[in-house]
Structure 1
Amino acid sequence: MAKKKFLLLFLLCSLLPLAFAQAFLSLGWFGGATTNKGQWLTEEIVLLPKAEGDVHWRLVYVSDNANCDAACQNAHYAMQQVYTALGRKQQHVELWQSGGVQPEHLLWQTSPVGVDALQHKLVLVDLNGLALMTYAVSADKAQMVQTGKAMLTDLNKLLKYDRGL
């Protein structure tokens, strides 16, 4: 009798955690270990030409507006704050605007065709010109400060693991 109890208790202790783990995964209760703050793009979009020199990452504000409204100004402000906060890592990052009017303090290019999904968003672009992550742009300055912090977190993480391939 003691042998059967031991075997039953052993099987219960071994199989119960596996059953719980399977239930968590299949029911979607486990969120995973995502640490990025931005939204990963699911499709491949080449937004900029290949980077030259020591630049590995580019922050791009995509807009087709002819004039810069409050959201545009907040996006430029957040980009400048992120760039300043990078410190010595600034040499690996460029600030761009795609479309709209050419700002004085950003690199600029005309808006490429087929990037409607990226309109009025901040986009993180790798050295090959591939858009990887997007961040929402808001007319609310406090919200843009939070977006800037999120961009800085993601950019620091990417710069830390970047090998410049």
Structure 2
Amino acid sequence: MTDVAPQNNFASKKTLLMMVGVFVIPVIMAKLALDNDWFNKAATNKGQLLTPTINMDAVLADTQPKWRLLYVIPAQCDNSCENALFSINQVWLALGKESDRTEALVITTDQSDSAALNALSEYPHVATLNSAKLPQLDSNSVYIVDTQNNAMLFYHMKDDRKDAVMESRNMLADIRKLLKLSRIG
């Protein structure tokens, strides 16, 4: 009978060590993987994330809270400018029943290209807003602005129409995802 007790003691210690190993080792490995960047962190957005976001309250303070596709017309409107105007209009139209929660908005300044301003008549669903107090924005990019007036994503528009259409698909995917997740706007 004395031989049975040491074997049971050894078996219970072995079981305890195995249980600790099964639960502790994965936690340690996960911590090491996070600390040492052993994997690619997932991102589901297709646009470029702005960090930090750009506060647009100076321009949009008196407007109704909506998700916005925002573009600033530059002093010289080239193919990328024309593609941006076309893209924000098409994305807004593609939103369908969700379009009432969004707005395609073009910001104009005193320096904005007059030919581009005249071309806006081709896009009746694109709203315009004239503002002299603009934050620093890239003139070849379309921005997604949240309901609290923070520009958070941007899409660099290309001169080629096919590339612009592909970027429009990215915009549409991101704005749909944001609208699905948001109850505001």
Tell me the TM-score normalised to structure 1 length: 0.80
- Render the CA deviation track for 1:41-78: whole Å, top value 9, x for unaligned: 213421434433xx622211124223x21111111222
Aligned to 1:116, the other structure's residue is in SS state coil
Aligned to 1:35, the other structure's residue is in SS state coil
Partner of 1:147: 167
Partner of 1:28: 37
For structure 2, the residue ranges without an aligned partner over 5 or more in a row are 1-9
Asked if 1:161 corresponds to 2:181, the answer is yes
> Which residue of 42, 55, 59 maps to 1:45?
55
Q: Cα gap change, 1:83/1:139 in structure 2, threshold over 3 Å: closer, same or farther?
A: same
> Which residue of 66, 79, 84 maps to 1:75?
84
Q: Distance in 2 between matches of 1:109 and 1:18?
A: 53
Bigger Rg, which one: 2
> Which residue of 88, 94, 101 maps to 1:85?
94
* Seq. identity, %: 30
Q: Distance in 2 between matches of 1:113 and 1:63?
A: 14
Q: Distance in 2 between matches of 1:128 and 1:122?
A: 17
Structural RMSD (CA): 2.5
Q: Distance in 1 between matches of 2:153 and 2:42?
A: 17
Deviation at 1:128, TM superposition (A): 4.3
Asked if 1:135 corresponds to 2:144, the answer is no
Aligned to 1:43, the other structure's residue is in SS state strand
Aligned to 2:154, the other structure's residue is in SS state strand
- Give runs of aligned pairs for residues 52-67 of structure 1, distance below 5 A: 52=64, 56-66=66-76
Instruction: Report runs of 4+ in structure 1 exceeding 6 Å deviation.
Output: none
Q: Cα gap change, 1:81/1:44 in structure 2, threshold over 3 Å: closer, same or farther?
A: closer
For structure 1, the residue ranges without an aligned partner over 5 or more in a row are none
